[in-house]
Each structure stands twice: as C-alpha cells, then as structure tokens.
Structure 1
Amino acid sequence: MLFLVSLISFLSSSISPVASSPKTSLTIDIQNIRSQKGSVYIALFKPDSGFPEGNPVEGKKADIKGSNAQTTFSIEPGEYAVAVFHDENGNGILDKRIFGMPKEPYGFSNNFRPRLSAPKFKDCQFSVGTSGRTISIKLE
C-alpha cells in the first residue's frame, strides 16, 4: 500500500501542465489581383493535412485593396504551405473548368505553378521560425 501511495505522489508531482507553444506571426501578401469583385480566400496547411484540398489548420477571407490583399495568422513555428484563390463571383468556392482546372485566379506558397495536377505539400512548403515570416503569393 505504501508503494501505491508513493507512486501516486511521484506521478502527481512529476506531471506538469502542458505549456502551449509560443505563437509567432505569418503575414501573407497576395498580389496580382485583377478584379475588385469578390474576396480572396487563404488556406493554411501543415504537413499531412491534405494539401491543397484537405482540411487546413486555419483559413481566412481577406478583403481586396487595389491589386493586393493581406492577412496575418498567429501560429506556432513550423512547416506550412498555403493555397489561395480569388472568389470573383462571391459564391464561396473555387469554380473549376472541365477536368478540374480552376476558372478563378489562384496561387500557392513559393509561387509554385502546377502543370497537370495539384501541387504536393513539399512543392509549396516553407518554414516559419519564432521571429515570424512574411510571404508573397502572386495569383495566376
């Protein structure tokens, strides 16, 4: 019995609350917006989250200002990829042509331009350190 009490005492004293990781900022500047109509949607992905059409860790809708839009995420340092599209007609989805080609302007981190299929996470991957980061994405 004394062993059990000692074990419980040891476990309760050695378990500390899990500290949340420090947050940093990721600013995304979207460029080459050709129309003032609609909004720009930004999806932030971590590895193994189904990039670019899976479940982003966070998403935002940004207002257009001139030919640019900008938003900032508060995130943990790490590896990320971003997918962006300009919802010109305001229906909340990326409209596509036959064979799945986008009708509306889109872009990816690293300004990766896919040829015949959607990009892979590693094509668009970038690191965000503790001091934060700003990236630019040019819509196509």
Structure 2
Amino acid sequence: MLAGNSAAGSTVTVTASNLRSAEGVVRACMTTNPARFPKCRGDAAAYSVVVPAGKTVTFNFTNVKPGRYAIALLHDENDNGKADRALMMMPTEGYGFSRDAKVRMGPPKFDAAAFEVGTANQSQTIEMRYML
C-alpha cells in the first residue's frame, strides 16, 4: 500500500474523507509533472497508491523527494481501473485533489493543487467529491 522511489525522502500522509461508500478502492497518484496531472500516466517518477475504500481512508506516499507535487484521487467504486463517466462526460465516481482544488469544467490545473514537499514529513486532507 505504500509507494515511492527507493531513495530516502519524506513521507506524505493523505487522508481522504467523505467517501460515499466502502465499495471498491481509492486510487491515488502524486506527480511533479504538470503535463501528467491528474492521471500521472507515463510519468515514471510519479508516486501511486491503491487502497481499499472506506468512509475515510489514510495512506502514505513514502520516500518522497523534495519538490512541487499535486495529488489526484479517484474513488473507483467498481475497481475497474478507470474513472467511469455518464452522459456529457460527467464522472460517476468520486474524485479529489490536493489542497482541495476545485473542479470547474474539468479537473483543476496542476498549480491549483500543487504544494511543496521538503525534507519534513507532512499531511494532506482531501475531501472526496461526487457529481452524481
């Protein structure tokens, strides 16, 4: 359940709250690459974690190198590995972003969710949101 590169670094603890069910999993990724946010696909330096869902879940990104990061969460209720969508491309599953960055006509930009990681451990609390 812990993810990260092998070099020593800090720990970023994430608490995701307000999940609507304990069905499925929470998929999380953390990246320094604005072009790969929010999916992190194709970013070999991204950190990722998958944990069982619950009303609230807490997990760690470990061995995090200092830098400017953004986190994206998906409550993958049916555990199919993707964000399901309804008509008009509205997400049917929950999502959340570091700094509780808001969604407006699509996911937030990297800068809205970005935070600095140094050598000290830190935590982020992210409220899950659901459109449907």
Same fold (TM over 0.5): yes
TM-score range, shorter chain: 0.7 to 0.9
1:89 to 78, 102, 127: 78
- Given the alignment, which residue of 38, 43, 48 partners 1:52? 38
1:101 aligns with 2:101: no
Q: How many residues are treated as equivalent by the alignment?
A: 120
Q: Which blocks of at least 5 consecutive residues in structure 2 are unaligned?
A: 1-5
1:70 corresponds to which of 41, 51, 58: 58
TM-score by length of 2: 0.82
Structure with bigger RCO (C-alpha 8 Å, 6+ apart): 2
Task: Output the TM-score relative to the length of structure 1.
Answer: 0.78
Unaligned runs of at least 5 residues, structure 1: 1-19
How far, CA to CA, are the matches of 2:100 and 2:121 in structure 1?
19
Q: Post-superposition, which runs of at least 4 consecutive aligned residues in structure 1 deviate over 6 A?
A: none
Shift of 1:49: 4.4
Cα drift, residue 22 of structure 1: 4.3
Q: Return the alpha-carbon distance in structure 2 between the equivalents of residues 34 and 48 of structure 1.
A: 29
Q: Percent identity?
A: 32
Structure with the largest fraction of helix: 1
Q: Deviations over 1:92-138 (max 9, x none)?
A: 21101233321101111111111112211101000112111100100
